Structure 1
Amino acid sequence: MKFSQWIGFIILICCIYILWNIKQLLLLFFTAVIIANFINHGVQALQRFGIKRGYAVILSIVLLLTIVSGFFWLIVPPFAQQLPQLFKLVPQGIDQLIITIKDFISRLDPELIDALPSSQKIIEQLQPILERIAGQGLSVFYTTLGIPLTSLLLLALTLMLLVNPNAYRQGFIRFFPSFYRQKVDHILKECDRSLQGGLTIILFQMVMISLLSFIGLSLLKMPLTLAQSMLAGILTFIPNIGPVLSFIPPVAIALLESQWKSFAVFILYVIFYIIIQIAKNKLLNPLVIENRKSLLPAFTLLSQVFFAGLFGVLGFFLALPLALVSQVWLHEVLVKDILDRWKNKSSLEQRKPEIES
């Protein structure tokens, strides 16, 4: 390697080291980019009606703040009131669920009971892992600026990105060599389309499961229906694991009422997810299928484990957008630009006589 190449390599290593040390702030910036990107689509929709961008930005922000304020005014107070009761009932219901499962297994094979771990052992094994992930993910909030200032920083970053997104976009593109900037611009467009499609579908699922849960649990006269339905909607944001976790609290609480209610709640949630999948395939997929690249379930699950270990709890909740963006970059850079163009020299030499003949 030449001296200039060594200098460039050392600078690259230093940049990677610096980025690793500020990874939590980068994740915060990535969150601001996602929020700004989401609002920007609303701004662009208003611009199509002839509204200037400045007014469209103000109108979009006012509309978003109105929706968020209404949500916190109407939904959050009763949800916060029911949440402590929910946290008390769910462990009791899970204990009852474990007892019911053990009773069922003992009827099939009593020897299997000894092989099953107790809930206390499971909690003891998971506790250090969860504490490490939570502490790592939230360290940016309580060690850097604190929760209020960090939230204010997130809001400021979002507004700055929203006011003039092209300037930040072009600034990011200029970090790459001139011959690759057009390709990076294409990758950013693909990331935008993938995020728009993926987040639209996941938000649709969150709203649908919250509404259906509230209606179904109210008909069954279950306690804490609002808290349970809101928690189910929040957990649905987590791919793969979230839908499974979302119906555990309702089933566990229903088991405290009666066994038939727990079975009815389980069947009800299965029906809910079937309805959501049918509605998604009929209504959303024709609209957003061109804007997203589908994530393989195994890739999504591995990305959740990877980003949770790397960024903590924030990485776990942001695993979907991080996986969508990572998939685009891996497909465009690693697969298309490196692996697809990687030709074996020996195979080319063997084929050369055939081509000449």
Structure 2
Amino acid sequence: MTLARWLGLFVIIASLYILWQIRMVAFLFLAAVVIATTLNRLVRRFKQSHVKRTYAILLSISIILALSGILIALVLVRFINQFDQLLSLIRLSISQLQYWSYEFQSRIPDGMMTNLPSLASFTQQLQTAVSWIITSIYLFLSNSLTLILNILLVFVLSIMLLANPQRYRQGLVYIFPAFYRQRADEILSKCEVRLVHYVAEITLSMVFVGVTSTIGLLVLKVPLPVVNGLLAGLSAFIPYVGAIASAIPPILLALLDEPWKAGAVLFLYFIIQQVEGSFVTSLVMQHQVDLLPATTLALLTAFGIFFGPLGLLLGLPILVIAQTWLEEAVVHDILDPWKSQ
């Protein structure tokens, strides 16, 4: 290799190393980009009504802050107050499940046990998984100062991006060669549209799953229906993984109350996910974000392993942007015009 190629390789490795070291800041900046992009669409709607951009920005931020305040006052305060009770009941449910598994295995002949999976091992693994989740939640919430600072940083970055988005966009476009800048600007516009559709779709999904889960758990008389419904709604932000994780607490609580309710809760959550995926978002959203389920689940798992909770939360917006660039820049601009000689 020539000296220039060695220098190029060194620059790439150094850039990847620096990016890895500042990955948390990069994720927070990406969160600000998603928020600013969504709010910018609302600002444009206000500007169409002949409202000045400054007032449109203030009005948009005021609406978001007001909705967030109502959510915190009506729902999150109650959730925090009942969260410890939920964790205690989950631990009690796992203990009861272990007791039932030992009772069941004691009534089975020893010759048959070799061909059956160990229920005790399953309950121990379930307890380990639940303990890990609880510990992670406590660690995440215990460092409240860092959490507050991160939220403030995202809020300030969002306002700065929203104040003059065109300037930041032009700076990004100038990174590309001159002949490709117009095309890059078109791709950024498509990324913006898809991000807005993603935020609208995921918001609708969270509201639908949270409300229907709460109503269903109230009908089944499962303990703490509001807390479990809120968990289901918030977990809908993370596709597939969130749906599975949010179903575990109400199933365990239903099992502690009356065993038949556990199957009913599982069926309820299954129906809610099917209705949400097949009818709700497809009827309301005209342009859905089309991501392959298996690929999405695998990549979200990888984001969660390498980048933690922020990787899970922001994994899907990253996939939306990456898929748009791959489709437009790689497939349409490079592969499609490529003809064999």
TM-score normalised per structure 1? 0.81
Deviations 1:84-119 (A, max 9, x none): 111111233345456667849x97963223498344
2:117 to 113, 117, 120: 113
* Aligned match of 1:335: 331
2:308 to 312, 316, 340: 312
Cα shift at 1:12: 4.5
Taking structure 1 as reference, are residues 316 and 107 closer, same or farther at Cα in structure 2, changes over 3 Å only? farther
- Give the alignment of 1:1-357 within 5 angstroms: 10-97=10-97, 103=104, 110=113, 111-114=115-118, 117-121=121-125, 146-280=146-280, 283-285=283-285, 287-289=286-288, 292=289, 294-342=290-338, 348=341
The secondary structure found in structure 1 opposite 2:121 is: coil
Taking structure 1 as reference, are residues 11 and 93 closer, same or farther at Cα in structure 2, changes over 3 Å only? same
The secondary structure found in structure 1 opposite 2:117 is: helix
CA distance in 1, matches of 2:122, 2:328: 47
Deviations 1:278-321 (A, max 9, x none): 43255223x234xx3x0000110121122223322210122111
The secondary structure found in structure 2 opposite 1:295 is: coil
Q: Which moved more, 1:11-20 or 1:260-269?
A: 11-20
CA distance in 2, matches of 1:334, 1:101: 54
Task: Give the aligned residue type for 2:42.
Answer: G
The higher-RCO structure (CA 8 Å, 6+ apart) is 1
Cα shift at 1:55: 1.0
Q: Which moved more, 1:309-318 or 1:71-80?
A: 309-318
> Contact 2:94–2:127 at 8 Å: present in 1 too?
no
Taking structure 1 as reference, are residues 127 and 186 closer, same or farther at Cα in structure 2, changes over 3 Å only? farther
Taking structure 1 as reference, are residues 65 and 218 closer, same or farther at Cα in structure 2, changes over 3 Å only? same
> Contact 1:96–1:252 at 8 Å: present in 2 too?
no
Q: Which moved more, 1:193-202 or 1:269-278?
A: 269-278
The secondary structure found in structure 2 opposite 1:50 is: coil
TM-score normalised per structure 2? 0.85
> Contact 1:206–1:234 at 8 Å: present in 2 too?
yes
Taking structure 1 as reference, are residues 114 and 276 closer, same or farther at Cα in structure 2, changes over 3 Å only? closer
The total of aligned residue pairs comes to 334
Unaligned runs of 5+ in 1: 349-357
> Contact 1:161–1:168 at 8 Å: present in 2 too?
yes
Cα shift at 1:20: 2.6
Deviations 1:142-195 (A, max 9, x none): 7xx933333221111011011111111111111222122222212211211221
Cα shift at 1:262: 1.9
Unaligned runs of 5+ in 2: none
Cα shift at 1:4: 6.7
CA distance in 2, matches of 1:251, 1:216: 13
Q: Which moved more, 1:166-175 or 1:8-17?
A: 8-17
Deviations 1:193-236 (A, max 9, x none): 22122222221111111111111222222221111110111111
> Contact 1:93–1:255 at 8 Å: present in 2 too?
yes
Q: Which moved more, 1:228-237 or 1:324-333?
A: 324-333
